[in-house]
Amino acid sequence: MAKPESKIIPADQGETPGNRQRVSLREAFHERIHANHMHGLWELASQMTRHPRPKMIPYMWRWSVLESIIKESGEAVPVGDERRALQLFNPGLGGRWATTNNLIAAVQVLLPGEVARAHRHTPTAIRFIIEGTGAYTAVDGERVYMAPGDLILTPSWSWHDHGNETGETVVWMDGLDIPLIQSLEAMFFQFYTAPQVPASRPPNASKQLHGHAHLSPTWVKEKPQSSPLLLYSWDQTREALSALRENDGSPFDGVALEYRHPQTGGPVMPTMACWVQLLRPGQQTKAHRHTGSAVYNVVHGTGSTIIDGQRFNWSKGDIIAIPPWALHEHLNASSTEDAVLFSIQDTPVLEALGLYYEKALEEKDGHQEVTSVFAAT
């Protein structure tokens, strides 16, 4: 006859008066500290993870979907006090106003003849122009005219409005640090007293003053935290990419360039970095991870980005969100044409706090195994 298995009863679960008393005492204690808005560290220890475990997920918004919704928004939503900007909410963040933990991306459209009312806010903002030429963003009274591929800055607390005096519809990607500012409880917002701020400087004045590589005006002593150069034109960006195209570049990012503050050499914004990177035909980068998050916009080409084993196949106009500490690598699928990606990143925040870490994938020659392929809903 088989011997019955012995059953071990935990010390606090046995059916004895003493154990029942201990359980009752523990429950009463926890109820009391919770009622007084306290928690024991022993209840929170699981939140001290061995590595980052972001709530946001990798995600991609396809241009084909964005474009159709943009066209529909032009008819369905008038430009009033607020912009006609489609905010890209990350599905992993539970309805939070955020594309990544620290950044929000949006796609904004301005129809011919429209003006988006002047306002200012503490979040910093960038505009990366996708389609259309000749519209403008006016920043503190300086009109900055747009062309596809241009990067336009709106520093924190700068008055800004948008206008389109052309016959073309203009579309751009917005990037702001709103989630970070909300986390810090530092949000301020204000409308200007009129629809537009009066012109106080010539159009593109900041480019005339600060847009000369390695040469700065000696009479300008102020060095603001955000770049005083408001327009980084695509012509200059394309020229720089072309000049460096044959360099090896980064094994993880290809020929990657960062837009820089012309006076300090630092990032264009204290909370946001902007990059542009070129992948040569057939190039596949190696995988790495870092504590910063990023949002990519495909400027040109076709290819894929593998994020934690999931393949995201992209083409021009697609927007991709990469979480902190997610392994990622890029591939240019074309054998004849370059691929170009623009991105916003929260790297400056982490670097300023001493929290930026980066690690390469050492296994499998630096490449991930693809376990799934992203399919947009």
| pLDDT value of position 198 | 86
User: For residues 229 and 205, what is the distance between their CA atoms, to the nearest angstrom?
Assistant: 9
User: For residues 263 and 56, what is the distance between their CA atoms, to the nearest angstrom?
Assistant: 35
User: For residues 59 and 76, what is the distance between their CA atoms, to the nearest angstrom?
Assistant: 26
User: For residues 69 and 60, what is the distance between their CA atoms, to the nearest angstrom?
Assistant: 15
| pLDDT value of position 202 | 66
Single pTM value for the model = 0.90
| pLDDT value of position 3 | 44
Cβ 169 vs Cβ 105: under 8 Å: no
| pLDDT value of position 12 | 47
- How confident is the prediction along the chain (377 residues), in pLDDT tens digits per residue? 444 443 433 444 556 766 777 888 999 999 999 999 999 999 999 999 999 999 999 999 999 999 999 999 988 988 775 789 999 999 999 999 999 999 999 999 999 999 999 999 999 999 999 999 999 999 999 999 999 999 999 999 999 999 999 999 999 999 999 999 999 999 999 999 998 888 877 677 677 666 666 666 667 777 788 988 999 999 999 999 999 999 999 999 999 999 999 888 999 999 999 999 999 999 999 999 999 999 999 999 999 999 999 999 999 999 999 999 999 999 999 999 999 999 999 999 999 999 999 999 999 999 999 999 999 76
Domain boundaries, the chain: 59-213+226-373
User: For residues 166 and 108, what is the distance between their CA atoms, to the nearest angstrom?
Assistant: 16
For 78, 226, 237, 278, the CA distances from 245, given in Å and listed in that order, are: 43, 28, 12, 7
Cβ 338 vs Cβ 275: under 8 Å: no
Cβ 346 vs Cβ 181: under 8 Å: no
Cβ 119 vs Cβ 176: under 8 Å: no
| pLDDT value of position 225 | 84
Cβ 130 vs Cβ 171: under 8 Å: yes
Cβ 114 vs Cβ 164: under 8 Å: yes
Q: Is 131 left (phi over 0), alpha (psi -120 to 50) or beta?
A: beta
Question: Do the strands 310-314 and 372-373 form a parallel or antiparallel pair, or are they unpaired?
Answer: parallel
Q: Number of H helices and number of E strands within the chain?
A: 7, 23
Architecture of domain 59-213+226-373: Sandwich (2.60)
